[in-house]
Amino acid sequence: MWDRRSARPLARAIAATLALALLVLAGCSTLEADLGLDGQTANSEEYGGAPGVAERAATDEALAPDVVTEPATGDVSDLPPEDRLIVRTKTLRLEVDAVRDAIDDIQALVEKHGAVVTALQVANDSESPIYRYDEATYTDSGPLVGYVTVRVPVADFNAFVNDASGVGKVLFQAETSDDVTQQHVDLSARLENLRVEEQRLREFFDAADKVEDMLAIERELSRVRGEIESLDAQVSYLERQAAMATVTIELSEPKPIVRPSGTDWGFADAITTGFRGAAGVIKVLITFLIAVSPLFVLAIALFFIIRAIVRARSKRRRTASADTASHDA
């Protein structure tokens, strides 16, 4: 028979065990909440494979949903011109009376507009650089050409180009404008997201209590820091390129009709060139004769052989004719 009195202690023991189990589970949940763990499992490889780091990252992301983890790019087509980044390049080809004076004028314009010369070269008509200029060098080498590359602030770009065009006669000009606004916005967004990621990794590093966690976070910090420095350099480069326009000026002097000295009309050069031409023709003729000499030898040999054969046949014919005449007589 079922005894209700004996079953009461058993029921009380079961109830006490269940209450103890619930109490233990509540304590574990409270401990996980204090440690910042919610029991969710994240991909540990994303955080260097360190145990515990991925769970804290997932909790932090859940508590801060407004943090952007992907590059945020926007449409820049509606931006006004003054807010856009434009890289401008200008090329001018000028004919001047004297390259040396023109370079002095351009350097004066550089100081006036707050620009800077990044490249300068002076050469003669054969494109050979001239490092020290004097009147003797000019007389011997003929007309000079010059190449000047200038970096001009965008605010003074048009004024500098107008002033530089007045240095000489404009033979050619070209201008290009490269809009890098979208590229700058994309790089800036990626840079900002990487900085946010770096800050979060530093917080994880400060909260880590295991050496392996610290090493994994430190490796990730090193990678993020390298990407930040690379993107920061690209953004700075675009900003510098847009802030300063590049103007390349090519200078050339008019070529004289006669020699610069004015005493020689070129007769001596004509005679010298004529003799050189005659020598060249003779050289070609000698080369041709030497090249075909084996053919001449073969032709002479064939000539003598054919002549001997013809003479032998003629002799036989004459002998036969004489024999026939004597026989008929």
- Rounded distance, CA 306 to CA 83, Å? 97
Task: Give the C-alpha separation, 107 to 92, whole Å.
Answer: 15
Task: Please give the residue that has the higher pLDDT: either 152 or 7.
Answer: 152
Tokens of 60: 């932090």
**In a shared domain, residues 156 and 253:** yes
Residues 6+ positions from 45 with CB-CB distance below 8 Å: none
pLDDT confidence of residue 294: 87
290 is written with which tokens? 């030497």
Q: Report pLDDT digits (tens) over 216-264.
A: 989 999 999 999 999 999 988 888 888 889 999 999 888 765 555 555 5
DSSP code of residue 129: B
Nearest to 106 by CA among 154, 148, 144: 148
* 159 touches 113 (CB < 8 A): yes
The pLDDT of residue 32 is 44
Contact indicator for 54, 145 with CB cutoff of 8 Å: no
The pLDDT assigned to 43 comes to 39
Let me know if residue 72 belongs to a domain: no
Query: How many domains is the chain built from?
Result: 3
Instruction: Name the residue with higher pLDDT: 135 or 186.
Output: 186
In this structure, the answer to whether residues 249 and 105 fall within a common structural domain is yes
Q: What is the rounded CA–CA span in Å between residue 91 and residue 71?
A: 37
CA 41 to chain centre: 45
Whether 60 shows a pLDDT value over 60: the answer reads no
- Are both 85 and 152 inside the same structural domain? yes
Is residue 242 included in any domain, yes or no?
yes
CA–CA separation, 90 vs 133, rounded Å?
27
| Mean pLDDT computed over 29-57 | 41
**pLDDT higher than threshold 80 for residue 70:** no
Asked if 33 and 101 sit in the same domain, the reply is: no
What are the tokens at 62? 């859940």
Both 219 and 101 in one domain: the answer is: yes
Does residue 163 surpass a pLDDT of 80?
yes
Question: Do 99 and 178 lie in a common domain?
Answer: yes
Given a cut of 60, whether residue 53 has pLDDT beyond it is no
- Could you tell me if 217 and 157 lie in one domain? yes
Do the strands 86-95 and 169-179 form a parallel or antiparallel pair, or are they unpaired?
Answer: antiparallel
Cβ neighbours, 10 Å, residue 124: 16
In a domain, 121, yes or no: yes
State the DSSP H helix or E strand holding residue 166, giving kind and residue range, or none if neither: none
Helices vs strands, H then E, count in the chain: 8, 5
Contact 137, 130 (CB under 8 A): yes
pLDDT given for residue 135 in this prediction: 47
Q: What is the pTM of this model?
A: 0.47
Whether 175 is in a domain gets the answer yes
| pLDDT of 269 higher than 90 | no
Q: For residue 16, what pLDDT band results from cuts at 50, 70 and 90? A: low
With tokens 């804290």, the residue in question is 56
Q: Does 328 fall in a domain?
A: no
Q: What angle do CA 14, 20, 21 make, to 5 degrees?
A: 90
Q: What percent of the chain has pLDDT over 70?
A: 65
Q: Tally the residues of the chain.
A: 329
Nearest-Å Rg of the Cα atoms of the chain is: 48
Look up the domain containing 116 and give its range: 77-265
The answer to whether 168 and 95 have CB atoms below 8 angstroms apart is yes
**Beta pairing class for 86-95 and 244-252:** parallel
Q: Which residue has the higher pLDDT, 315 or 323?
A: 315
Band (pLDDT 50/70/90 cuts) for residue 130 is: low
Residue 41 has pLDDT above 50, yes or no: no
Percent of the chain with pLDDT over 90: 19
pLDDT, averaged across the chain: 74
Least confident of 62-71, 77-86, 300-309, 316-325: 62-71
Specify the higher pLDDT residue, 168 or 30: 168
Structure tokens of 58? 């997932």
pLDDT at 228: 92
Query: At residue 151, does pLDDT exceed 90?
Result: yes
